[in-house]
Amino acid sequence: MKIGFVGLGRMGLPMASNLQRKGFSVTGFDLKREAREALAAIGGTGVASAADAARDADVVFTMLPNSNDVRTVVEGEILPVARPGAIIVDMSTIDPLVTDEIAALVAAKGLRFADSPVGRLAIHADRGECLFMVGAAEADFAAIRPLLEAMGTTIHHCGPVGAGMRMKVVNNYLAIAAAQLNAETLTLMARFGLDLEKTIEVLNGTTATNGHLKTNFPVKVLAGDIEPGFQIDLAHKDLGLALTAASAMKVPLSMGSAARECLQLARAGGFGGKDFSGLLDAWCRLAGVEPPRLPGK
Run of H or E including 241: helix 232-248
How far is Cα 89 from Cα 94, in angstroms, rounded to an integer?
13
Could you tell me if 80 and 108 are in contact, meaning their C-beta atoms sit under 8 angstroms apart?
Answer: no
Grouping H, G, I as helix, E, B as strand and the rest as coil, residue 252 is coil
Single out the catalytic residue among 2, 22, 109, 168: 168
Any bridge partners for residue 135, and if so which? Answer: 115, 159
Asked if 220 is an active-site residue, the reply is no
Closest alpha carbon to 233 in 200, 198, 288, 282: 282
Instruction: Tell me how far CA of residue 76 lies from CA of 43, 88, 97, 106, 166, in angstroms.
Output: 28, 14, 19, 12, 24
How far is Cα 4 from Cα 110, in angstroms, rounded to an integer?
18
How far is Cα 107 from Cα 115, in angstroms, rounded to an integer?
13
Closest alpha carbon to 50 in 13, 84, 77, 17: 77
Residues marked as catalytic: 168
